[in-house]
Amino acid sequence: MEATADEVDRAVRAAHAAREALADRVLRAAFLRTAADLLDASGEHVVEAADAETALGPVRLTGELARTTAQLRAFAEVVEEGSFLDVRIDAPDPAATPPRPDMRRWKIPLGVVAVYAASNFPLAFSVPGGDTASALAAGCPVVVKAHPDHPATSELCASLLRRAAARTGLPEDVLVLVHGFDAGVELVRHPLVAAAGFTGSIRGGRALFDEAVARPVPIPFHGELGSLNPVVITEAAAAERAEEIGAGLAGSMTLGVGQFCTKPGFVLAPRGADGDRFLDALTAAVSETEPAVMLDHRMRDAFVAGVAERAALAGVHTPVTPGAGGAHTVSAGVLAVDAAALADGGHRLLLEECFGPVTVVARYSTREEVTAVLGLLPGNLTATLHIAEDDEAAAPLLAELTPLAGRVLVNGWPTGVAVAPAQHHGGPYPATTSTSTSVGATAIERWLRPVTYQSTPDHLLPPELRDGNPLGLPRR
């Protein structure tokens, strides 16, 4: 049932009232681990519910559940270790110019965080996912707006997280769930919501972002909106391993029916015999991919219409025709075009994300064409470069790709986002609306703000900042 404005208000106020209980880092870490344990213990039911609503399959969902619980446990370790507080202490120095007083800085939680669940990851980017885990780790209560594609899975996961809170001595309302489109808008407008995290479409994310910044008190909105994830294949790489690259691309672009935000949707490949070998290998591998079910009919319809519109552009041909594979399925495909044709502006649609199992291969003849096309691309989550050993084109191309994305890969594929301290899952707009990551330990930084205490008596300071470091925290 969709939440009314009054129900959203009650949900936010209940979460807001739970803030002080989350201040205890020991309880927070225990809560995150207990949540992971309960999700694992109920894994069979969670996977069954998610598969019934998404058709992603038990193998994929079992792996996603493992990723989700690993994220929760990883953030428990972050909370215990304490460096996320970024404690910095400057001793007073009257002889400095200007004189320096005693200053002690750390980071505190922002307050209630609104999390907007994603459709394509009903666990890892949904109710118990990375946005929720990182916000709770920061000490922020969470109100999740469930995705309409998996409401039962959302309810099940929310009940497990609330049970984990109660089991560790925290109020259940450290996490509250609401449903409905209007509820999502009311949530971002609520004066007690201090920040928001979103994973979804450019259109939906931008609408919520505009609401967030138009408030009387604007709030941070960390949105992951969409990404083309370009790939550049050098001539030397194609000469060295064209077939391997073609097969690898096919596997990456069709993984999860092309419904990953890091799907490689645009490829610059050389003309000539080696480029033909690459395209032939890609064509063969994609042709063997069976039709599959997308997450919902709205996405399926958008994919079928989107690939048809792109295929109808002048100069575009279809080595493998993408589109409807049946009444409920889609077929993967490949679109090809001359790179030079992209410069005239009439093919800009090919430079926009098409959610689903399709990629665009732009064939280039000169290095200048590569540079020209890269100059047309929007911001991305990832950019990938395939090179050969001692490839002279490698360094300049890596430099050209770096401004375009938050994660740059060499001789790999962008699908499969490791949950690790050095991970960055973000990128220039429209990939995301901020410079932060939504995956990895530093995702916690989105929900914190720095505060400095100046010339404050030791007994008035938080224990984290007192002389003698009574909590044994990392300090600078």
Active centre residues (catalytic):
224, 261
Compute the distance between CA of residue 97 and CA of residue 223 in angstroms, rounded to an integer.
Answer: 42
Q: Is 1 helix (H, G, I), strand (E, B) or coil?
A: coil
Query: How would DSSP label each residue in 212-224?
Result: HHHSSS---EEEE
Compute the distance between CA of residue 145 and CA of residue 108 in angstroms, rounded to an integer.
Answer: 24
Residue 335 bridge partners (DSSP): 360
H helices then E strands: how many in the chain?
13, 18
Residue found by looking up tokens 């064939």 in the block: 363
- 434 in Cβ contact with 426 (< 8 Å): yes
Residue-level length of the chain:
476
Sequence-ordered alpha helix ranges (H) in 294-359: 297-311
Rama region for 193: left / alpha / beta (φ>0; ψ in -120 to 50; rest): beta
Q: Report which of 78, 84, 44 is spatially closest to residue 61, judged by C-alpha positions.
A: 44
Q: Within its chain, how far is the Cα of 88 from the centroid?
A: 30
Q: Report which of 470, 459, 464, 446 is spatially closest to residue 89, judged by C-alpha positions.
A: 464
Compute the distance between CA of residue 398 and CA of residue 401 in angstroms, rounded to an integer.
Answer: 5
Q: Report which of 321, 324, 323 is spatially closest to residue 334, judged by C-alpha positions.
A: 321
